[in-house]
């Protein structure tokens, strides 16, 4: 089995405040971030993983969270220098940092760019002040616009994160948000439907969300507007102009490899004879102590994927892509013959969820609308 492309994910766990809809591994930041200790632990975490990826090139780096832009300019500079000194990072690697408007970190964007950040993903969520308050965001629409302006002057590539089907949102309000997002001329948009996740404040105190039919109309309208503005919807939640697809995320969906470092980060690493998933412990303090101790306690899971795991693991990602993937990619990434999928493929085609294409796995429009049902066929 040939080894797939490799990317690096870095998790920064702190936020100014936990949003009520968020189920990511994020924690309210202390008055003073323990940057020095975090970087020391990150270095130890990375160095303990090097034997598993030795000699492999890193095609992209994604620094996510949490709110990575809470880190100082100096911390980001040291972090990227650490990666370059220990990893074989492509000279033109896409290096993304997630950022939130509403705090002074927007003014750090130029310094981040000087350190090597060439893509910013900005968590706008909405340009409607009333909606932002309902979502528990700490910024307003004016701060969002200012952050985008600063980012556009700092880096060549920008993604805007927005949500739709918000509490009480009308179709007109959704259209206004999409129009505002498209007006900036950025190259990439991520548009997510708000869903209620377990273990969140919204799960305990659920807001009233738009009905399914209205949510579907919002989604269709956003896709039409984005298409007219020169965007292609290449993944369920991702829209990009030509040549601007997210390299790191595309590697996820094509079942590539990724090394995840930081609290709660996940890794998928392929070897010639097996694929292993790793997970870091989620608590930031426990992860920092375990990483620095170098005793393995920073890991919460190490699991080899079985032949029974791989069909679902592969399809869970690949079917999210509008174009699907070549059949040959399944064998390249899993080491298994496509014949292992014959029964669920036949069922999916009979249900009209998958095209009967002898060269590609590709969901039909119906398959995209009922993606969970389609993916579950491969369990």
CATH number (domain holding residue 179)? 3.20.20.70
173 and 40 within one domain:
yes
Please state whether beta strands 188-193 and 157-164 pair in parallel, antiparallel, or not at all (unpaired): parallel
Asked whether residue 199 is assigned to any structural domain, the reply reads yes
Query: 103 and 182 share a domain?
Result: yes
- Are 40 and 175 part of one and the same domain? yes
Q: Are residues 208 and 121 in the same domain?
A: yes
Residue 189: what pLDDT? Answer: 98
* Final residue in a domain of this structure, among 235, 252, 269: 252
Total Cβ atoms within 10 A of residue 4: 20
Host domain of residue 243: 6-252
H helix or E strand, kind and range, residue 325: strand 325-326
In a domain, 351, yes or no: yes
Q: What angle do CA 369, 372, 377 make, to 5 degrees?
A: 115
Q: Is residue 223 included in any domain, yes or no?
A: yes
pLDDT tens digits for range 234-277: 999 999 999 999 999 999 999 999 999 999 999 999 999 999 99
The rounded mean pLDDT for the chain is: 95
Q: Is 178 a domain residue? A: yes
Give me the number of domains the chain comprises.
2
**Cβ neighbours around 183 below 10 Å, total:** 12
SS3 letters across 127-166: CCHHHHHHCCCCCCHHHHHHHHHHHHHHCCEEEEEEEECC
| Residue 192 within any structural domain of the chain | yes
Q: How confident is the model at residue 107 (pLDDT cuts 50, 70, 90)?
A: confident
Please enumerate in sequence order all residues whose Cβ is within 8 A of that of 213, keeping only pairs 6 or more positions apart, or say none.
Answer: none
Rounded Cα distance between 91 and 200, Å, is: 40
Q: Which DSSP string do the residues of 356-379 spell out, in sequence order?
A: --SSEE-B-HHHHHTHHHHHHTT-
């Amino acid at each position: 089995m040939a080894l797939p492309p490799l990317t690096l994910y870095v998790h920064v766990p702190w936020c100014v405040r936990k949003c009520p809809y968020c189920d990511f591994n994020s924690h309210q930041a202390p008055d003073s971030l323990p940057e020095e200790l975090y970087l020391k632990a990150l270095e130890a975490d990375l160095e303990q993983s090097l034997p598993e990826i030795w000699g492999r090139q890193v095609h992209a780096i994604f620094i996510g969270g949490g709110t990575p832009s809470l880190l100082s300019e100096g911390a980001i500079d040291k972090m990227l220098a650490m990666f370059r000194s220990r990893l074989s990072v492509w000279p033109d690697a896409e290096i993304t940092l997630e950022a939130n408007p509403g705090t002074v970190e927007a003014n750090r964007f130029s310094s981040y760019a000087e350190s090597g950040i060439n893509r910013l993903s900005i968590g706008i969520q909405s340009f409607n002040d009333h909606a932002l308050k309902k979502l528990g965001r700490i910024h307003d629409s004016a701060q969002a616009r200012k952050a985008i302006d600063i980012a556009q002057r700092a880096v060549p590539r920008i993604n805007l994160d927005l949500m739709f089907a918000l509490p009480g949102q009308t179709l007109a309000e959704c259209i206004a948000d999409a129009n505002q997002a498209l007006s900036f001329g950025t190259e990439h948009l991520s548009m997510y439907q708000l869903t209620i996740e377990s273990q969140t404040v919204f799960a305990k105190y659920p807001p009233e969300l738009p009905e399914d039919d209205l949510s579907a109309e919002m989604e269709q309208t956003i896709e039409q507007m984005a298409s007219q503005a020169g965007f292609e919807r290449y993944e369920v939640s991702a829209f990009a102009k030509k040549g601007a697809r997210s390299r790191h995320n595309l590697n996820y969906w094509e079942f590539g490899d990724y090394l995840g470092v930081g609290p709660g980060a996940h890794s998928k690493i392929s070897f010639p004879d097996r694929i292993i998933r790793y997970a870091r412990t989620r608590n930031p303090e426990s992860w920092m102590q375990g990483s620095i101790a170098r005793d393995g306690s920073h890991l919460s899971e190490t699991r080899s994927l079985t032949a029974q795991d791989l069909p679902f693991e592969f399809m869970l990602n690949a079917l999210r892509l509008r174009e699907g993937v070549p059949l040959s990619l399944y064998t390249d990434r899993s080491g298994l013959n496509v014949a292992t999928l014959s029964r669920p493929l036949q069922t999916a085609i009979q249900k009209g969820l998958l095209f009967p294409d002898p060269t590609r796995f590709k969901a039909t429009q119906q398959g995209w609308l009922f993606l969970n049902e389609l993916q579950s066929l491969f369990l």
